[in-house]
Amino acid sequence: MNVLFWLPPWAAHGDPIFFRNCLRKHLAPQANLLLNAGWSVDFVLPEFLSSERSLLDNNIRVIEFSIERQIAAFGDLSDPSVTLYAAPTETQLFKIRANLAPILREDYDFVLLWETPVPFLEEMYPDALIVHQMPGAFSRPPYPHTVTFDPVGLYKKGALYNFAEAIQQGVGVERDDFSLARDFVAKVRDSITAIQPFDRKSLDPKQRFLSLALLPLQVSAHYSFQADTPYANQMEFLLDVLRNTDPTVGVVVTQYVTPRVADTVLNKEVLPALQKAYPNLIYREEFDRVSSVSQYLLPLVDQVITCSSSLGLQALAWVRQVRVPQATFLAPFSTPEKLADGMDESERALNTLSFILGKHQPLASAVVSDQGFLTGLLSEMLRRKRAGAKGLDLFPSFDRVDPTYRQRLLAAFTTERAERDLSRSGERWAARQSELAKFRRAVADPDVEAITFDVFDTLIKRPTESALQ
């Protein structure tokens, strides 16, 4: 089997080494794994990341992609992802192909890459299985680390968007996939509830709103946001949502903050003016300090408003309403006004999660460090493609590749890591955990014979009368 790994040579988010983490943690380990399985591996390595050459086995054919070649192929050093994703021209694609052909093989069985559009490779290798990878909808603690593994494409080019109706109706869902989704949902709810740093009252202490909606802001510079929405930035997105949301609905806003990328439009200078115009805007600086804060707020709200955040899919595990204001890849998963006959919202959610968890987004460890799983999954997908399969028929169930997959996924929750993250970032959560620890010690004390609870709060809120002297 001949495999090509493609790493974008351009700078993403203005950072020429933006893709270094995915190279180190995902693509390089995958390449070494497939080489050790006896497959022939080529790896396109941009000159900006040439210092990472040692990550790859010496028997991998490394194709060094120079700055000069990048300029020749793509015109300059800027990121062409928006154009390549939305509307590449034939002249543009011809130029790229002409510059790549001399350094690549004539044929590949597989092309593996990370979150980047490659229409030029799709044209060059129409018979190859091109696997598009990116973080899964459930990928941050306390969830298992999953990745999207899509032979169709990503975002509006991918399986979730193009076959959304069939996915939501459960077409091709097997009993084991459905059972896995149901058990996963139960584990999600238990894990989040066990370490929940917030409560609904803290979001709306005066109970001013009839309902609450979560608005997780994303990254303005991402190519799918730029191509699939009319907004120039997250502030435009926020204002559009606030203008088009009933003022009786409290809008809980979180911002995208990671060690690598941060896109923040709210701060103590901007917030007062916005809340004056839109009193239903709910935001706290504390949100920016809590790792993956939206995951904890999701169970406390009634609705999620998003264009492209994975929270739109995570909402399915809590059967929350989803509102997608633009025609992005998540638009088909907006909560419909009317469901198909004989189907309720819980069934629609479980059907979708059955596909995502059982066929579309495997454990990262399974496709990065498990040679048998990775080669088995790729080989079965390629067999199906060459047999004429298309669309959802390209996706085998993961438990057909590994009969123990269900147990592996459910055992991969990282609740303890999430607890550590919360203890570092959330002062209120740490204080709460300290109080809980004291209570647990008191309960476990053998000298304590009985514990009583004042369920009527009379010891806390006791009416008193005082006489003025």
What CA–CA distances, in Å, run from 39 to 4, 32, 91, 108?
Answer: 11, 10, 34, 11
* Residue 434, pLDDT score: 47
Phi, psi (rounded to 5 degrees) for 254: -120, 155
Residue 428 has pLDDT above 70, yes or no: no
Token readout for 182 is 């149901």
CA distance 303 to 312: 9
Q: 259 exposed, middle or buried (CB, 10 Å; 0-12, 13-18, 19+)?
A: exposed
Its pTM stands at 0.88
In the predicted model, what is the mean pLDDT of residues 414-420?
93
Q: Are 11 and 77 in contact (CB under 8 A)?
A: yes
* Residue 461, pLDDT score: 52
Token readout for 450 is 């009985």
Residue 325 has pLDDT above 60, yes or no: yes
Q: pLDDT tens digit string along 372-390?
A: 999 999 999 999 999 999 9
In the predicted model, what is the mean pLDDT of residues 23-46?
97
In the predicted model, what is the mean pLDDT of residues 85-99?
96
* Residue 437, pLDDT score: 45
Residue 204 has pLDDT above 90, yes or no: yes
CA distance 323 to 212: 13
Q: 51 exposed, middle or buried (CB, 10 Å; 0-12, 13-18, 19+)?
A: exposed
* Residue 468, pLDDT score: 47
Q: Are 397 and 176 in contact (CB under 8 A)?
A: yes
Q: Which of 121, 1, 5, 129 shows the shortest CA–CA distance to 62?
A: 5
CA distance 366 to 151: 17
% pLDDT > 90, the chain: 81
In the predicted model, what is the mean pLDDT of residues 111-116?
96
Q: pLDDT tens digit string along 62-75?
A: 999 999 999 999 99
- Residues in Cβ contact with 108 at an 8 Å cutoff, skipping those fewer than 6 apart: 2, 3, 4, 42, 125, 128
Pairing mode, if any, of strands 303-305 and 211-216? parallel
Token readout for 131 is 């696997």
Pairing mode, if any, of strands 40-46 and 147-150? unpaired
Exposure on the CB side of residue 104, measured as CA atoms within 13 A: 25
Judged by average pLDDT, the poorest of 226-230, 266-270, 340-344, 348-352 is: 340-344
Q: pLDDT tens digit string along 258-279?
A: 766 677 899 989 999 999 999 9
Token readout for 453 is 């609870």
Token readout for 135 is 């973080």
- Residues in Cβ contact with 145 at an 8 Å cutoff, skipping those fewer than 6 apart: 136, 139, 363, 364, 365, 412, 414
3-state helix, strand and coil shares in percent for the chain, rounded to the nearest 5: 45, 15, 40
Choose between 176 and 205: higher pLDDT: 205
